[in-house]
């Protein structure tokens, strides 16, 4: 059970840290951290929890990563559903804590503010349509899996103990690219947690932020497994 709890706590930290930075700190008067700060926050959540519990569960914290690693031959099928369930529960729990904190400010409205939810069309931060959102989520999640599998490969030029740095920085870069397009998902659990508390359009558009990351993660893992990996692996 330890690995399932590790996935719960890791995903909890990712949503609380990443989405919390967006909800509480991104536009704070005069000292707001902005898009760059939110991007860094997401990267730091994965980096810190990968070091904290990655040795217990592998440090997925993301259904698209779990599915991708399964496609890539790095993950056992029997653990796939329990991992995803624990990740989603962790994300919902973190979103609940964040909602309680944010509600402590007079006038807070999760539905009106968006509550760090992912969206497209009129709910994209910069008005990008559904096809743009679908494409960027597929492509960025694919590269995320390539980076994860490559940085943890035994042939990697640096020791595997440094792989969380590459993975955390990759997630930061992903957010720097795509926050204006979709508010950045590449993680169905992260999208689900906050969408349930936003409660309207975010739930209606949630399907894209399950479908696109899982397709992208599977593509990236397959590319690494069948094109970039050694024949013996």
Contacts of 152 (CB under 8 A, 6+ apart): 160, 163
Q: Is residue 27's pLDDT more than 90?
A: no
Minimum mean pLDDT range among 12-26, 64-78, 179-193, 217-231: 217-231
Contacts of 49 (CB under 8 A, 6+ apart): 9, 10, 13, 14, 59, 61
CATH of domain 1-228: 1.20.1080.10
CA–CA dist 210, 206 (Å, integer): 7
Q: Is residue 61's pLDDT more than 70?
A: yes
Residue 155: pLDDT band (50, 70, 90) is confident
pLDDT of residue 232: 52
Radius of gyration of the chain, Cα coordinates, nearest whole angstrom: 17
pLDDT of residue 32: 82
Minimum mean pLDDT range among 29-33, 46-50, 128-132: 29-33
pLDDT tens by residue, 87-100: 999 999 999 999 99
Mean pLDDT of the 128-140 span: 98
Average per-residue pLDDT for the chain? 94
Q: Is residue 159's pLDDT more than 70?
A: no
The single residue listed with the structure tokens 């890791």 is 10
């Amino acid at each position: 059970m330890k690995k399932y709890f590790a996935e719960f706590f890791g995903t909890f930290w990712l949503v609380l840290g990443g989405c919390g930075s967006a909800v509480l700190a991104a536009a704070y008067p005069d000292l707001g951290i902005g898009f760059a700060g939110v991007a860094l926050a997401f990267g730091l959540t994965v980096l810190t929890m990968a070091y904290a519990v990655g040795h217990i569960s592998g440090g997925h914290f993301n259904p698209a990563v779990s599915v991708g690693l399964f496609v890539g031959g790095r993950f056992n099928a029997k653990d796939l559903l329990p991992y995803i369930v624990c990740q989603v529960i962790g994300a919902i729990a973190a979103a609940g804590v964040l909602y309680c904190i944010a509600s402590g400010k007079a006038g807070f409205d999760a539905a009106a503010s968006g509550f760090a939810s992912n969206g497209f069309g009129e709910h994209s931060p910069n008005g990008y349509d559904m096809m743009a959102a679908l494409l960027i989520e597929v492509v960025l999640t694919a590269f995320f899996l390539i980076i994860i599998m490559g940085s943890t490969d035994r042939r990697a030029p640096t020791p595997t103990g440094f792989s969380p740095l590459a993975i955390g920085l990759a997630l930061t870069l992903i957010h720097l690219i795509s926050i204006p397009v979709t508010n950045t998902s590449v993680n169905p659990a992260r999208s689900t947690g906050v969408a349930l508390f936003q409660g309207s359009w975010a739930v209606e558009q949630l399907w894209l932020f399950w479908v696109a990351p899982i397709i992208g993660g599977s593509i990236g893992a397959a590319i690494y497994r069948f094109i970039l990996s050694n024949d013996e692996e």
